[in-house]
């Protein structure tokens, strides 16, 4: 699916990200990290897209799997974000892989709130790192996510 949706983050919003980073505790638990940075970015995307792009935090499915965020465009899920702090990357990638399979999606992200690693599941079901960003590249993060619609 392709879309003409373009989301331009304002300078004011980028300043809010910088302000949040000044008060960011790198030892914060996953919930704090998620609410301070990931949800801040997703809320702005939701607002700027006039609710065309929305997200659900910790949606459950019939198998009890709960990614941290499931991002949708006009009601159709297209992207998973898993916010992790303090667990091994191997375990986190296993979780993302499982979530993508369960939700029949191919694109997802692993983030600690600062670093955003973008993954794609290939046709052979292998998860491949495609690119990564830092939160101060918020516009690039949004552009990349929206390009997966």
pLDDT (tens digit, 9 = 90+) per residue, 70-120? 999 999 999 999 988 766 788 889 999 999 999 999 999 998 888 899 999
Q: Which residues contact 36 (CB under 8 A, 6 or more apart)?
A: 20, 23, 24, 28, 113
Residue 130 confidence class, pLDDT cut points 50, 70, 90: very high
Q: Model pTM?
A: 0.87
Q: Which of 54-58, 66-70, 85-89, 122-126 has the lowest mean pLDDT?
A: 85-89
pLDDT confidence of residue 105: 95
Cβ neighbours, 10 Å, residue 140: 13
Query: How large is the average pLDDT for residues 11-18?
Result: 91
pLDDT confidence of residue 33: 67
d(CA 142, CA 117): 13
- Pick the more confident residue, 37 or 31: 37
């Amino acid at each position: 699916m392709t879309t003409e949706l373009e989301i331009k983050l304002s300078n004011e919003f980028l300043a809010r990200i910088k302000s949040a980073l000044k008060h960011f505790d790198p030892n914060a638990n996953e919930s704090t990290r998620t609410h301070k940075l990931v949800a801040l970015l997703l809320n702005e995307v939701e607002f700027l897209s006039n609710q065309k792009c929305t997200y659900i935090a910790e949606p459950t499915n019939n198998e009890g799997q709960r990614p941290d965020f499931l991002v949708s465009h006009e009601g159709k899920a297209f992207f998973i974000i898993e916010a992790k702090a303090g667990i091994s990357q191997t375990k986190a990638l296993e979780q993302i892989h499982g979530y993508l399979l369960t939700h029949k999606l191919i694109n997802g992200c692993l983030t600690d709130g600062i670093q955003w690693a973008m993954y794609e599941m290939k046709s052979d079901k292998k998860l491949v790192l495609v690119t990564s960003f830092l939160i101060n590249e918020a516009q690039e993060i949004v552009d990349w996510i929206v390009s997966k619609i």
